[in-house]
Amino acid sequence: MDFTFSNEQKIFRDTIYRFCREEVAPLCEESDRKGEFSFEVWRKLGGMGLLGLPIPETYGGAGADFITCCIAGEAMGHAGVDGGHLLALGAHSYLCAANIVEHGTEEQKQKYLPGLATGDDIGCMCLTEPSCGSDAGALLTAAVRKGDKYILNGSKTFITNAPVARVFIVFATLDRSRKHKGITCFIVDRDTPGLSTGNPMHKMGVKCSTTSEVFFEDCEVPAENLLGGEGNGWNIALGGVEWDRSTLLSPFLGNAMFTLESCSRYASERRAFGQPIGEFQSIQNRIADMRVYVEAARLAIYRVAASKDNGARLNPLLASVNKMYVGDKGFEMCSAAVDLFGGYGYIHEYPVERGMRDAKLGQLGGGTSDIMRMIVARAMVGRQK
């Protein structure tokens, strides 16, 4: 496969890179140190049309395909935009808005997508619960049909954007005995009685994304807010996985490119024992390994994105290989960058410290690396039968 960008795609990437490098990245350092979500950063991303990339032009978005969305994510990460704001963008654009694009009725699209496209309304997806993360089929949040409404009771946790969101994509079960087949999806507005959010969680990394629990106590959701039909929630969740294991990984690639450039520059400038540390073979080996990771991660991410743009169904094996490799090797690379910087890599003054904290999420969010290994192993064992 040839993943060489067209001239139009190169211009698109360069435009995003320059804008984020000059206008967005400088704001991210202060926000990360404070551990705060920046509405100023959010407005800038919205003004560039980056919050509505997967939303059709009819509803105010860009109607971008998977590869274009990956290019944007890579460019933002490469420019130095922190992982927190990029995580917030991913939850908003791909886990919330894209699900409405794919499964919503025309009335739902007209009501919700224009505000999500501009970022005036912030979206989130509520799937993970205190008692189940990767085992989503065991979720406990219940939905009961009563006339023209559904009554939701339960709770969610680790929900990105929840404290600031207005549009919630919520997964609940109509019948626990049916496991995955009972899962159903709803669009719930922020001001719906019975919906509340907990205090923002303090995290190791991606500090600029605001995360909390979400609670449903006799929360009445109109029947017209049912998304995709009863019992179709699991398929909708799997659709989110398609975005998660392609487009949502592209900022990690961008962060790796940013880290590689930082390390190469530092190795040329920092001197020890009468010469730049980049003259030492151990440093050269680390930088070479970083470059290999960047190239391999790019191929892995764009391979999945290209297959989706060509209409292929998500390949669980390849997608899991992709997620596991980018998550595990990306964190190893960012940890090696801190080692390369030495004591300076351990303080906030240098960006590799933030990069390592943010990269850790790649091994945890959207399915842990251990779950990815399980999927890969089961697929391989199955092939031998």
Give the Cβ contact number of residue 316 at 10 Å: 16
What pLDDT is attached to residue 312? 73
What pLDDT is attached to residue 242? 67
Confidence of residue 319 (pLDDT cuts 50, 70, 90): confident
Per-residue pLDDT at 385 exceeds 60: no
Task: State what percent of residues in the chain have pLDDT above 90.
Answer: 78
What pLDDT is attached to residue 133? 63
Q: Where are the alpha helices (DSSP H) in 166-249?
A: 233-244
Q: Where are the beta strands (DSSP E) in 181-314?
A: 183-189, 195-197, 211-222, 226-227, 271-272, 275-276
Q: Three-state DSSP class for 178?
A: helix
Quote the CA–CA distance of 184 and 309 in Å, as a whole number. 27
Quote the CA–CA distance of 78 and 297 in Å, as a whole number. 14
What pLDDT is attached to residue 119? 97
Q: What's the mean per-residue pLDDT of the chain?
A: 93
How confident is the model over 281-301, as a mean pLDDT? 95
Which of 3-12, 133-142, 171-180, 355-364 shows the highest mean pLDDT?
Answer: 355-364
How far is CA 333 from each of CA 40, 291, 348, 355, 366, rounded to the nearest angstrom?
30, 10, 18, 10, 20
Quote the CA–CA distance of 201 and 213 in Å, as a whole number. 8
How confident is the model over 28-54, as a mean pLDDT? 95
- At 24, list the tokens: 């967005």
Per-residue pLDDT at 383 exceeds 60: no
Per-residue pLDDT at 126 exceeds 50: yes
Whole-structure pTM value: 0.94
**Least confident among 76-85, 238-247, 291-300:** 238-247
Confidence of residue 316 (pLDDT cuts 50, 70, 90): confident
